[in-house]
Chains A and B, each alone.
Chain A
Amino acid sequence: METGKPNLEVMADTLMALAEHDRDLLVVTSDSRGSGKLVPFAAAFPDQVVEVGIAEQNLVGIAAGLASAGKKVFAVSPACFLTARSLEQIKNDVAYSDQPVTVVGISAGVSYGSLGTTHHSLHDYAVMRTINNIDVLAPADNFETAEAIKAAYTLRRPVYVRFGKQAMPHLYGPGATFEVGKANVLSQGADVTFVATGETVPRAVQAAAVLEGEGLSCGVISVHTLKPFDEAAVLDAAANTRALVTVEEHSIFGGLGEACASALMQSGVRVPFKIVGLPDDHTVTGSQNEIFNHYGISADGLANTARQLLQVGITA
């Protein structure tokens, strides 16, 4: 897979392109324009940046007030603080008040790696999924990121988008499509389907390649929208494959895996099934890659999880 840019940069590029034609587009930041790769945006559109300093609750409240007056607001801040410290503002000022704010969680999951748990967001899918009237997007690669930002801009409703810092491999070729609420089937397979979201999707693609080399038939689905959740895609995969492995850069509680489990159980579908994510533990110290590898979010780790479910060629 050819590597592109960090999704953060794609977000900033996409906002630049949109702002070019829309003076009502505002970026609100909490001393985070540097980490959000928004310095060029601020240079090009100084009147379209609102700086609130390190004050995430205020960030979201101000974003809601600006949106109420017709501004198209992207409230950008590290996901760990934004979705914890400002959770009540997201719930009340944005979602409950139906203000069309895009809440952008940057450096999400374990992007901050060795900075530790204070800087990890492993809860954001769970808390955002339980808030009424907000969509939850977790783009995987540059294409999905650009499309997610454009979709949030167009939707004019409460949206949460999260992504990380690493340069991401390209998953799509020309002609790719993106629709909020509709998962993208990257490949189909009869033996195991990896249902992944956000920046773990390339790992699932790599695991599928490993297993394909062993003669297994593998599918990969990129669930770029956690809410509204594409149950049909998951049920279809369950009906046409022998096992499902879900993959996410999030706690194993309350995220993609449990959304899939809920869809399967309530539909009466039984299939060998495993949730791969961050366990209920103090997260190991390391880079994003090292943390992924530690918890089995890697080509080998995911392939092994699939083998265990299929009870073939288990290696460790």
Chain B
Amino acid sequence: MSIQDLQRKSVEYRKTILKIIHHAHAGHTGGSLSCIDILNVLYNHVMNVSPDTFDDPTRDRYVQSKGHSVEALYTVLADKGFFPVEDLDTMEQYGSHFTGHPTRDIPGIEQNTGALGHGLSVSVGMALAAKLDKRPYRVFTLLGDGELTEGSSWEASMTAAHYKLDNLVVIIDRNKLQITGPTETVVALEPLADKFAAFGYAVRQCDGNDIAALVETFDRVPFEPGKPNLILANTVKGKGISFTENVVAWHHKVPTDDELSRAMAELDRAAAEIEVMA
């Protein structure tokens, strides 16, 4: 898929995210908008995973440790054909399997997540199994920056390096905001790249909302043989909508009817700009 096609998808994905959150009257708007370009590139350019091959033991795995941005994952999985997008109208409704965090009840989801700091350990197990079985698949794990204060992330990082898991690709959605405020004022994370490097990762940074930059970065995996990969994806929380970008309140604020209309208009303009550039 071309860069422009991926850019077009990101615009459509942002529309879907906002629509389903608006419909459900619940969701994590800011974090889903910050990570959606990463998921777009993973599912449409990087990973060999599809509804037809989901039972294939050699499929690539994706684990979303930051489970609260499930709306981004649902959106991409629906687009990939794991289930009809209309199913998302039931999201967070009584009796629906589409809960506010990922569960394996939903086709395409590998592991239940939502409690923070769990995804990396599970992913290490998956990547280690690939090494033990000499299988070629890779494991991609998306972590929020806010969840890095969970100690289990660093336990898992030590084992990832110890077992030389260069088939593990950890992506940090570095939007620098969490529910209380900036990560650096809650509990400072910087220098984050240095910390991961010190833990034994091969670290690369990129603009996590720039499709071309993400494609180029993912195409270079594995960065160094024998080292787990860490992509520090610098993103903007609420990316793509002028009034949600970098606003802490949009962590899980739901758009009003008016806000949804304004957001859709902005996204229509973004789509038009892509066509001009193309």
Contacts and interface: CB of A to CB of B under 8 A. Distances in A.
Interface of A: 26, 47, 50, 52-53, 55, 57-58, 60-71, 88-89, 92-93, 96-98
Interface in B90-136: 103-104, 110-115, 117-118, 120-130, 132-133
A57 B155 contact: yes
A97 B104 contact: yes
10 contacts: A55-B155, A58-B121, A58-B124, A58-B152, A61-B124, A65-B111, A66-B125, A71-B132, A92-B118, A98-B104
A211 to B, nearest CB: 49
A62 B158 contact: no
B122 A57 contact: no
B124 A69 contact: no
**Which of A60, A66, A88: most chain B CB closer than 10 A?**
A66
A24 to B, nearest CB: 9
A68 B114 contact: no
B156 interface: yes
A66 B126 contact: yes
A69 B118 contact: no
B133 A62 contact: no
B121 A62 contact: yes
A63 B112 contact: no
A57 B128 contact: no
Given A70-B57, A70-B129, A98-B104, A62 B111 contact: no
A98 to B, nearest CB: 7
A226 B110 CA distance: 30
A250 to B, nearest CB: 26
Nearest to A28: B125
Given A61-B121, A62-B128, A71-B132, 5 more contacts: A57-B117, A66-B126, A68-B110, A89-B152, A92-B118
Interface size class of B (residues with CB under 8 A): 20 to 34
Contacts of B151: 57
B156 A62 contact: yes
B118 A89 contact: yes
A62 B112 contact: no
A195 B103 CA distance: 39
B156 to A, nearest CB: 5
B159 interface: yes
A50 B128 contact: yes
A92 B155 CA distance: 18
Given A53-B158, A69-B130, A64 B57 contact: no
Contact of B129 (A57, A61, A71, A92): A71
A71 B125 CA distance: 10
Interface in B15-70: 57
A69 B167 CA distance: 14
B133 A88 contact: no
A57 B157 CA distance: 13
Contacts of A63: 125
A67 B113 CA distance: 16
A57 B151 CA distance: 9
A96 B114 CA distance: 11
Given A93-B111, A98-B104, A66 B128 contact: yes
A68 B126 contact: yes
A55 B150 CA distance: 13
B159 to A, nearest CB: 5
B57 A65 contact: no
B178 to A, nearest CB: 19
Contact of B112 (A57, A65, A67, A96): A96
Nearest to B123: A65
